[in-house]
Amino acid sequence: MSTLVINAHPNPGSFCRALAEHYAEGARTAGPADVIHLAELTFDPILHRSYQGSQALEPDLERVQALLRGCTHLCVVYPVWWGGPPALLKGFLDRTFLPGFAFRYRGRGLPEQLLRGRRARVLVTSDSPRWYLHLTGDSAVRSVKNSTLAFSGFRPVQATRLGPVRTSTPDQRARWLAQAGLLGQRDGQRARREGAQGTAAPA
């Protein structure tokens, strides 16, 4: 049973990258964990013809799709920018979570979820306090958590919000990193238990 961690911050020196690495380190106490930094992948983030035509997947996206198929638990780490996820993450989701891979439509337009049997967590940073995110609709979390991951079959999808990062102290950031490691450990152990019971993602 394995964990896949996706860091969607484009800055290689970001706090999100550190959170992703700590989360993966915690997950490895329970089993294998892979970390993908989207900024290090080579792919066109634009779905040029929507779903009206084919667009060949780059090798990096093919590799991530294989990791998604094989994982038991997924964690996506990203910042809140202008009330939403960064463009890098949106482009990655547009190009990767495609019909026939993440979902397909049945009669009357009802979706069939093709990534069932996997758990997920979104780990989100912001410079705004949590109460402000809720006041403005929490769209950065809902779009990824509900409209993409849950839509594709991930259950449950938990959300962890950390911030404000801009005004945080070194001690606070150290506590958040430790929290990320503990979450990775707990999520990895839960995924391993469910896999042993035959309730995790099929191989």
Q: Is residue 146 part of a domain?
A: yes
Cα–chain-centroid distance for residue 91? 13
Q: CATH number of the domain at 169, please.
A: 3.40.50.360
- Could you report the per-residue pLDDT of 71-127, keeping only the tens digit for each? 999 999 999 999 999 999 999 999 999 999 999 998 877 889 999 999 999 999 999
Burial 18-40 (b: 16+ CB within 10 A, else e): bbbbbbbbbbbebbebbbbbbee
Cβ within 8 Å of residue 101, ≥6 positions away: 65, 114
Q: Is residue 54 part of a domain?
A: yes
Q: Is residue 201 part of a domain?
A: no
| The pLDDT value given to residue 202 | 46
Q: What is the mean pLDDT of the chain?
A: 93
pLDDT band for position 198 (cuts 50, 70, 90) = low
Domain that holds residue 57: 3-196
In the beta sheet, which residues pair with residue 35?
A: 5
Question: Which backbone phi and psi does 129 adopt, to 5 degrees?
Answer: -70, 160
In the beta sheet, which residues pair with residue 104?
A: 112
Residue written as token pair 């959300």:
159
Please count the other Cβ atoms lying within 10 Å of the Cβ belonging to residue 112: 11
Angle at 183 between CA 42 and CA 149, to 5 degrees: 50
Token readout for 169 is 């102290």
Q: Is residue 202 part of a domain?
A: no
What is the total count of domains within the chain?
Answer: 1
Cα gap 96→90, rounded to integer Å: 10
pTM for this entry = 0.93
